[in-house]
Amino acid sequence: MAADEVTIKVQRFDPAADSMPYWQTYKVQAKPGMTVLDALFEILNHQDGSLAFRFCCRAGVCGSCAMVISGKARLACETQVTAIRGDEILLSPLPHQKIIKDLACDYTLFFDRLKKVKPYLVGKEPYPEREYIQSPKERVPINEPIDCIMCGSCTSVCSMAWWSKDYLGPAALLKSYRFLVDTRDSIPDERLDIIESEDGVWRCHTQFNCVEACPKKLNPTEAIQRQKMKVFKRKLLGRRKKK
């Protein structure tokens, strides 16, 4: 094997043709700065045109290329082949996802979960003629959660999300937190009702798998715990008011 040749093993599966997934091995000449996504294109364009994988921005922004790279959820476009230790690079789709083909997963359930938390700003009335003004201090709580690129890595490794398709999961709950702490939003109570439900924050068992998996180093577990506190606080205040 040439010194700069890397072995890449890809988990292949075509639900229309295969009864079981299987591993296929490819050899690629590593070039300086070559990412796993570059290597996949090398295979697609020069060795095997049947290989399926997702991508869009190629810059770590769209989240499309999330996959398991040698045992860890990562973005293929942000991971250099030289950064992976070991003799070979193993590529498989995000776990517990419906596979469309090879490394390409079906994100329908992921986005269904996301839609449930109303992942958009519901502005306060009267609506401003131009934008809503927010001070730098008010912006601080959303600085981190807005960096979520919705790659689905966190939800795919959450064992609570595996067992319950109705559980909102870490990505949707991080999104709900992002709007709950946004001073421009007008429906915090409605948002708390959604996350307080049976399939909301209380299903999180603080396993931190989502934190480990996030390629943007975000902390969905912390966002979920903060929302639990908000739900709890609302309950407590409601009880006090009734007395």
List of residues contacting ligand FES (CB under 6 A): 55-58, 60-65, 75, 77
Q: How far is the CB of 149 from ligand FES (least distance, A)?
A: 6
The residue among 77 and 180 lying less far from ligand FES, judged by its C-beta, is 77
DSSP assignment of 74-89 equals: EETTT-BGGGS-SSEE
Sign of CA dihedral 121, 125, 127, 131: negative
Q: How far is the CB of 38 from ligand FES (least distance, A)?
A: 11
Q: How far is the CB of 205 from ligand FES (least distance, A)?
A: 28
Closest by CA to 178, choosing from 166, 161, 195, 165, is: 195
The residue among 60 and 141 lying less far from ligand FES, judged by its C-beta, is 60
In the chain, how long is the greatest CA-to-CA distance?
78
> Per the structure block, which two tokens stand in for 228?
């639990």
The 8-class DSSP code of residue 35 comes to B
Residue 223: CB atoms within 10 Å: 26
The residue among 69 and 204 lying less far from ligand FES, judged by its C-beta, is 69
Q: What element of type H or E holds 42?
A: helix 36-46
Q: Are 218 and 196 in contact (CB under 8 A)?
A: no
Q: How far is the CB of 114 from ligand FES (least distance, A)?
A: 17
> Per the structure block, which two tokens stand in for 89?
């690079």
The residue type at 238: G
The residue among 200 and 220 lying less far from ligand FES, judged by its C-beta, is 220
Q: How far is the CB of 66 from ligand FES (least distance, A)?
A: 7
The residue among 74 and 230 lying less far from ligand FES, judged by its C-beta, is 74
